[in-house]
Amino acid sequence: MADISLTASMRTNLLSLQETQSLMDMTQERLSTGKKVNSAIDNPSSYYTAQSLNNRANDLSALLDSMGQGIQTIQAANEGIETITSFAEQAKAIANSARDVPSNFDKYSITSGEITAGVDAEFMVDAREDLSTFTMTFDTGENGKKFTVYLEGEDKGHEITVKDGGSSAATTAADVANQLQGLGLNAVAKDGTVTVSTTDGSMVSWVNGDLASSDVADTAAKKVTLANATTGANSAAIAAAINTAASSLGISAEANGKAFSIMATNKEFRVFGDSTAAAKYTAFQGMGIEGDRGAGNAKEVSTERTSYAKQFNEILEQIDALANDAGYKGVNLLQGNKLTVVFNEDRSSKIEIMGVDASSKGLGIAEAQNDWQRDSNIDVSITHIEDAITELRTMASDFGNNYSIVQSREDFTDNLINVLTEGADKLTLADMNEESANMLALQTRQQLAINSLSLASQAAQSVLQLF
């Protein structure tokens, strides 16, 4: 080509045509790729800046997926909590239904309050088939001996002294009957026996003072004395003291946690104190055991309550199963697992969501005790359920707050990715309308350059006419 000589005008037009073709090639590339910066050669600053923005957008896109999975994990836990709450409310309804069923234990027993401190008290327990009547049998030689009679509704007893010389059991009985009648009681003496009854069917008891006759003593109410703080502070020790003092009457006692219960099978029984015991009487009242119960068997099982207790325990099993099934992709927030959700590419921004134990044990719900035969057992279960429902609502609130945080960060990250991508596009993308116009202009310029080159060559072509 160097050996070919072109005129100056032809060379000028040729260079112009080559430049136009180069611009057309560049414009064609922009139209085909949609970018005005396709490599660092095109514009190093824009190219590397756009690449950095796109790289960050890609990193955030990966985190966006992680956030979405985190939201699903929280949502799975929240769904579990809602269902467990529903189970807990169902369990409470079962407990309330059981509470409406009469309790044989509470009908035929007296339960104390919680014994949390030392108790120095003195009280009496009495049990008979009919508490409105009793019989006393005397021997000779009871002169000057004393016993105390307790009428219903009175806190202070009536002391009776055997005044007769006691030359015979019949004389002694007659003297005692006379004193008892002075209390408004029906007292009938026959030989050495006194039969006592109330006129209105109310309760009456007597406590032996120092009568020597074993026959008399065995028919009396029994006094229980708690003389020191060590005994009084322990419900089991108090129950043992009652059993020791009153087992001959058919009365028994048993500890129930910090409380204790007193009962008598198939006998009416009463527990009462004497206001003359001063501080000991106050301590007796503080235990909350004063009262009476009709004849019956406190140990007789209520099958209906047992059935409710079984249903309650089955609900607890379902709570445990559901808490175990509330996981998502190996993370279960209801079994104490921890969920970490990262919000930025260098992991400097994140949230750690601590799991909880939403099983029945974790919520503090114990199985139905004693098959719910006692009202106190049901009351404990109801308290557990109510506390658990409160705790579940707190869990739901915490997870709901975390759900909102992660979702807000997900929305923010999604928008930020769009901002980064848009920023990169502004640096690299071509304006297709502009490039199309450029292509049209270049095509026109190319056509004009070709025509101009043709005109420039006409001078040389005229030489051909000489031949």
The pLDDT tens digits along the chain (467 residues) read 556 666 666 677 667 767 776 767 666 666 666 666 666 666 777 777 877 887 888 888 888 888 999 999 999 999 999 999 999 999 999 999 999 999 999 899 999 988 888 888 899 999 999 999 999 888 777 788 889 999 998 989 999 998 765 568 888 889 999 999 999 999 999 988 999 999 999 999 999 887 766 666 667 999 998 876 556 668 888 999 999 999 989 999 999 888 899 999 999 999 999 998 788 888 888 898 999 999 999 989 999 999 999 999 999 999 999 999 999 999 999 999 999 999 888 888 889 999 999 999 999 999 999 999 989 899 999 999 999 999 999 999 999 999 999 999 999 988 988 888 878 767 665 666 766 776 777 677 767 767 766 666 666 666 556 65
Spatial distance between the Cα atoms of 9 and 239, rounded to a whole number of angstroms: 128
Question: Cα separations (Å) of 283 from 202, 292, 395?
Answer: 26, 18, 43
Do 78 and 148 have their domain in common?
A: no
Maximum distance among all alpha carbons in the chain?
188
User: 31 Cβ partners below 8 Å, 6+ apart?
Assistant: 430, 432, 435, 436, 439
CA angle 449, 452, 456 (to 5 degrees): 135
Rounded to whole angstroms, how far apart are CA atoms 420 and 52?
9
Query: Do 166 and 307 fall into the same domain?
Result: no
Same domain, 264 and 335: no
| 35 close to 430: Cβ distance less than 8 angstroms | yes
Domain that holds residue 169: 105-293
Model confidence pLDDT, tens digit, residues 131-167: 999 998 887 777 888 899 999 989 899 999 987 655 6
Q: What is the structure's pLDDT at 229? A: 54
Distance CA 255, CA 370 (A): 13
Does 273 lie in the same domain as 174? yes
Domain end residue (candidates: 415, 434, 452): 415
pLDDT at 171: 87
Q: Give me the number of domains the chain comprises.
A: 2
Which residue, 291, 292, 273, 289, is CA-closest to 281? 273
Q: Are residues 287 and 383 in the same domain?
A: no
Q: What is the residue whose two structure tokens read 């927030």?
A: 333
- Asked if residue 95 and residue 111 are part of one domain, the reply reads no
The rounded mean pLDDT for the chain is 85
- State the Cα–Cα distance between residues 312 and 47, nearest whole angstrom: 69
Out of 239, 265, 293, a domain closes at: 293
Nearest to 49 by CA among 59, 40, 58: 40
Check: pTM over 0.75? Answer yes or no.
no
Considering the domain boundaries, does residue 352 fall inside one?
A: yes
Alpha helical stretches, state H, 100-139: 104-107
* DSSP string computed for 291-309: EEE-SB-TT---HHHHHHH
Q: Could you give the 3-state DSSP secondary structure of residue 140?
A: coil
118 plus 252 within the same structural domain: yes
